Amino acid sequence: MRYRVQLQPPAEQDLEEAYLWAAKHAPETAARWLLRFHESLGTLSSSPERCGLAPEHRKLNRQLRQLLYGKKPNVFRAIFLVDGEIVRILRIRRASRRYLKREELG
């Protein structure tokens, strides 16, 4: 089964903020980082269930999952849920940040 991967507005904003930070601190590699991140998110179209449950999954009583991207210390979490044929990416956060609160998940 093929899924459609859809970034929700908060996730789009999270990704833009991460890119802008990277562009400021590592301008020569920021665009490549963003492209690879999008490629990694695209892999969710074929097998989103391969990703483990996010620590926040109990807050929604849904199978909230996370895709980890990057290498320590720059690991990011794409927090998503599978909604029928759509993979909805809710938020993108650095893995080192605290877990999301229920209201931050939308």
d(CA 38, CA 53): 20
**Residue 84: band (very low, low, confident or very high) from pLDDT cuts 50, 70, 90:** very high
CA distance 46 to 79: 17
Contact present, 102 and 60 (Cβ < 8 Å): yes
Is residue 76 within 8 A of residue 69, CB to CB? The reply is: yes
92: helix, coil or strand?
strand
For residue 41, give both structure tokens.
């998110």
Residue 7 has phi, psi (to 5 degrees) of -80, 125
Q: Which of 97, 106, 8 is nearest to 60 (CA)?
A: 106
Residue-level pLDDT at 100: 65
pLDDT in tens, 6-62: 999 999 999 999 999 989 988 888 899 999 999 999 999 999 999 999 988 877 777
**Per-residue pLDDT at 66:** 95
pTM equals 0.87
The pLDDT of residue 11 is: 96
What structural domains and CATH numbers belong to the chain? 4-105 (3.30.2310.20)
